[in-house]
Amino acid sequence: MQNLAKKMEQPLIQPQAPSGEEDKVNEILGNIEKHLGFIPDGLRLYSLSPALLETFVGNIAYFSMGGTNLPPSLTAMIRYIGSSQAGCSFCVDMNEGFLSNMGFDLDRVRAARNDPDAAPLDEKEKALLRLAIKSINTPEQVAMEDLDNARTQGWTDQDIFDSVAQAANNRAFNFILRTFKVEHQGSFA
């Protein structure tokens, strides 16, 4: 019988802290493990550049620790849909897990991959979700009307900026993971 499963590619690069910066990297990764209960391999990859690891973790903390007005369900859905469109299985799986742990029905979550309006969010959140996804797919088509629609739903300009930054930063992360073939948790096992 033919094996239909996709062959798991090995990562092209192994994360290793630069000499002399191991303690700094271990401290950052240790804090992540305390918070999440594990270290995502996507973050482990950043061990190669401690300054970028620190910056990236700071960005994550901003969105997950109350630095933004955006609800965690919205930021996770932005990452989920954006990652799905970018073909980043690691981020799709990770954010699907986050959304499931938030109590969302996975069938509804998965339906949003092809139709952001199907996302299990309220209309206010969907307005910002649509704008964020549009910003990474067709940024040249984002118009004042898109921003005004989000403002009408009660979002501030900072909220609008945060949603676009979340989508753009996640897309960059998707491409880094895809480039180095970090496709699933356990890639560095």
Question: What residue spans define the domains of the chain?
Answer: 22-64, 72-179
Residue 179 host element (H or E):
helix 157-179
What pLDDT is stored for residue 189 in this prediction?
76
Would you say 80 and 109 are in contact if contact means Cβ atoms under 8 Å apart? yes
- 131 CB neighbour count, 10 Å cutoff: 22
Query: Which CATH code for domain 72-179?
Result: 1.20.1290.10
**H runs (alpha helix) in 112-156:** 123-137, 144-152
**Stated pTM of the model:** 0.90
What pLDDT is stored for residue 36 in this prediction?
86
Separation between Cα atoms, residue 83 and residue 91, nearest integer Å:
6
Contacts of 106 (CB under 8 A, 6+ apart): 96, 99, 100
What pLDDT is stored for residue 4 in this prediction?
34
Give SS3 for 77. helix
The overall longest dimension of the chain from CA atoms, in Å, is 57
Separation between Cα atoms, residue 138 and residue 135, nearest integer Å:
6
What pLDDT is stored for residue 1 in this prediction?
34
What pLDDT is stored for residue 7 in this prediction?
53
Please identify every stretch of the chain with a pLDDT value under 50, giving residue numbers as ranges: 1-6
| Sign of the dihedral defined by the CA atoms of residues 140, 145, 149, 154, in that order | positive
Separation between Cα atoms, residue 55 and residue 62, nearest integer Å:
11
Token pair recorded at residue 145? 């009307």
